Chains A and B, each alone.
Chain A
Amino acid sequence: MNLLDIRNLSIELISNGKNIIAVDKVSLSMKEGEVRGLVGESGSGKSLLAQAIVAVLDDKWHVHADRFHWRGIDLLRLSMPERKAILSRDIAMIFQEPMACLDPTTTVGEQLAEAIDSSQLSGFFWQKQQQRRKAVIKLLHKVGIKDHSVCIKSYPHQLTEALCQRVMIAIALARRPILLIADEPTAAMENTNQGQIFRLLSSLNQLKNMAILLISHDLENITHWTNTITVMYSGQFVEAGTTEQIFSKAMHPYTQALVDSSPMANQHLPAKSRLMTLPGSIPILQHLPIGCRLGPRCPRAQQDCVKAPSVSNFHGHKVSCHFPLLLSPKAKKSKLQKAKSQKLSKVSND
């Protein structure tokens, strides 16, 4: 059973009468115990999507979707408070700069103690204090902090970024979530610390069977740790599949460009030669292209690209492009047949 099943989620911003579609019909699904990477550069709407899943967006963003299921429960039929109750129980989120996300005026120990749910404690209220302390120490050990006494008494600014991120993960684990959303957890860290945090997340995934949604703007950084990857560009869904499919058999020109820009793929290039890039830059919210938003930059763009492409599925490898790369003849034939049947059904509907 799918943990999270989102189909055609759109997030719109309505301001001054103008309707800006920040996230345009993105589909995402996660199974239990899966580590999925969500890759997109700045402006791709990946943080917006994560915040929409946890339902913490402001009122100025309008979220609608065809399907938004969590463990079989249809969240769209519930009211906001009910939805938030279910989501906050089962999903936890960690953010980018951990030192800025912790309260600077209370010690780490107090913040951890606050995060522990009182339903997990039992007994009379004076016993609860003792149990809370024990639970905090256990949480810190779970995230790999051995000497907990120093950590509990210090304030966030006295710890390093990597330690703060571990504390954030500990706070997230306090409620025993089923899904952990990590919004660029290692953006502010060096390589050695990044490896530590990813290793911790991976061990949590294996030991507790906790699903992780890893959001990042760097494709090659997360390929080692993820099972499946979804790629977004400028609010649109681009490609999704297993890590191997994405990295070695990319079908969308944008994914191919991302793979090409990672230094790992450039190992065989002679030093100090030009890298393969897409021309132009990411469109801003005020001037989004119509149809496929990669259109102005795509080397394979043709007239059809002014219509938004639909998602095609090749054995679990989903891609949203009119002219994908590496299309085998059988896949091309099935695509043509699908297009024909869609046209017929449209005609019969009218």
Chain B
Amino acid sequence: MTELLKVQALTKSYQQKGYWLNRKRITVLDSVSFTIEAHKTLAIIGETGSGKSTLARLLVGAEPASSGNIYLNGQELKSGSYKHRCQHIRMIFQDSGTTLNPSLTIQELLDEPLKLNTPFNEKKRTELIRMTLQKVGLLGDHMNFYPHMFSGGQKQRISLARAIILQPQVVILDEALASLDPSLRSQMINLLLDLQQQMGLAYILISHNLGIIRHFSDEIMVLSQGKVIECGNTQEIMTKPQHKTTQKLMLNQSFQLRVKNRYKS
């Protein structure tokens, strides 16, 4: 499988706000490198403050990296060039309450990326919006509704529609499934798996829930304080974690799992 996304030595540091003479330089990400292929999912785990969200923002282009390169299909992505990047890498946010603009209808919401990045006329755009809404499991008529009329699960679907409407190749899920109820979470996972098959997407999943990660991802990358401490196949890392931090993370989940096995048998 050819590499879809390649990240090399990505670093992000900034100066702490404080007195002019007393500012420290904080390194949030320290030389992170990894690769992703199409149809595959990479999960990134780590405790809070380990730089996961920063990595997501760097990849999608919300902030410029201090150093390092990102290559998409062999081409280097420069920071600040949203128009090129947004067609290939998209992101879904966590808090479904603030991720949709409350004063726009769904049609206007989904129209915006199309208007800014594609040369289609209005009829074609409406057609595309209707098709995308149906793909994520909503009705085409939903495009006249406002965001406050939808439930949390439906809002995440609309977020997903906004992410895939430009036919990207990489979708970043920044804790997108954390706030959903378990049954809605399963529905969303099924939907994501279907889309991955149909469109050949690569996912980057940032999550705390190891059960979902075990089911959904092919590879895991463990971050701690900005550095990659472990990276490899899901099965291997979950059963035989090498580093101490990874072991601590796995232990917490497996403790609950092991005891539950008692009930299953």
A/B: CB atoms within 8 Å of each other = yes
Q: B229 near A: Cβ within 8 Å?
A: no
A247 contacts chain B at the CB level, 8 A cutoff? yes
Complex contacts, B193 vs chain A, CB 8 Å = 272-274
Which residues in A have their C-beta under 8 angstroms from that of B260?
220, 223-224, 247, 264
Interface-facing stretch out of B4-12, B15-23, B111-119, B181-189: B181-189
Interface string of B192-224 (1 = CB under 8 A from A): 010000000000000011111011101000000
Are B186 and A261 in touch, CB under 8 angstroms?
yes
Interface residues of A (CB under 8 A from B): 41-42, 190-192, 195, 217-221, 223-224, 243-244, 247-248, 257-258, 260-267, 269, 271-278, 281-282, 284
The segment from B85-93, B97-105, B251-259 that touches chain A is B251-259
Cα A288 to Cα B147 in complex, Å, equals: 21
CB distance from B36 to the nearest CB of A (A): 15
Please, which residues of chain A bring their CB within 8 A of the CB of B216? 271-272
Specify the chain B residue showing the minimal Cβ separation from A276. Answer: B186
CA distance A244 to B48 in the complex (A): 34
Question: In the bound complex, how far is the Cα of B185 from the Cα of A278, in angstroms?
Answer: 11
Are B183 and A219 touching (Cβ within 8 A)? no
Q: Which of B147-200 contact A (CB under 8 A)?
A: 151-154, 181-187, 189-190, 193
Alpha-carbon gap, A276 to B189, bound state (A): 11
Nearest residue in B to A221 (C-beta to C-beta)? B256
Q: Does A277 contact B252, Cβ atoms closer than 8 Å?
A: no
Chain A residues contacting B184 (CB-CB under 8 Å) are: 41, 281
Tell me whether B47 is interfacial, beta carbon within 8 Å: yes
Q: Determine whether the beta carbon of A261 is less than 8 Å from that of B183.
A: yes
- B257 engages A217 (CB within 8 Å): no
| Contact-size category for B | 35 or more
Per CB-CB distance, the 3 closest pairs between chain A and chain B, nearest first, are A263-B211, A41-B181, A261-B186
A266 contacts across to B, CB distance below 8 A: 211, 215
**Residue pair A224, B151 in contact (C-beta under 8 Å):** no
Contacts of A275 in B (CB 8 A): 186, 189-190, 215
Residues from chain A with Cβ under 8 Å of B209 in the complex: 263
Most buried by A among B151, B253, B259, B263: B263
Quick one: closest B residue to A42, CB to CB? B181
Determine the distance from Cα of A41 to Cα of B186 in the docked complex, in whole angstroms: 13
Q: Is the CB of B182 within 8 A of A284?
A: no
Given contacts A264-B257, A271-B234, contact A258 B183 (CB under 8 A): yes
Taking the nearest CB of chain B, how far is it from the CB of A229, in angstroms? Answer: 11
A–B complex contacts, Cβ < 8 Å, 20 sampled: A191-B249, A191-B252, A192-B252, A195-B256, A220-B211, A224-B260, A243-B263, A244-B263, A258-B182, A262-B182, A263-B211, A264-B211, A264-B256, A266-B215, A269-B215, A272-B193, A272-B218, A275-B189, A276-B186, A281-B151
Name which residue of chain B comes closest to A269, CB basis: B215
Interface of B is mostly: helix
Residue from A192, A260, A273 whose CB has the most chain B CB atoms within 10 Å: A192
The answer to whether A220 touches B190 (Cβ under 8 A) is: no
Instruction: Give the residue name and chain of the A residue nearest to B263 (CB).
Output: A247
* In contact, B208 and A191 (Cβ under 8 angstroms): yes
Q: Is the CB of A218 within 8 A of B182?
A: yes
Residues of A close to B153: CB separation below 8 A: 281
Rounded to whole Å, the gap between the CB of A199 and the closest CB of chain B is 11
Q: Which residue of A lies closest to B182 (CB)?
A: A261
A323 to chain B, nearest CB (A): 20
Q: Does B124 contact A (CB under 8 A)?
A: no
- B83 proximal to A (CB < 8 A): no
B263 partner residues in chain A, CB cutoff 8 A: 223, 243-244, 247-248
Residue contact B182 to A41, C-beta cutoff 8 Å: yes
Chain A residues closer than 8 Å to B210, beta-carbon distance:
191, 263
Please name all residues of chain B whose beta carbon is closer than 8 Å to the beta carbon of A281 when the two chains form the complex. Answer: 151, 153-154, 184, 187
Residues of B within 8 A of A263 (CB): 209-212, 214-215
Q: Is B25 an interface residue (CB 8 A)?
A: no
Most buried by A among B47, B154, B216, B252: B252
A191's contact among B185, B190, B253, B264, by CB below 8 Å, is which? B253
Residue numbers in B under 8 Å from A257 (CB-CB): 183
**Is A41 touching B215 in the complex (CB atoms < 8 A)?**
no
Q: Would you give the shortest CB distance from A328 to chain B, in whole angstroms?
A: 20
How does the 8 Å CB contact mask read for B221-265 relative to A, with 1 for contact and 0 for none?
000000000000011000000000000110011011101100110
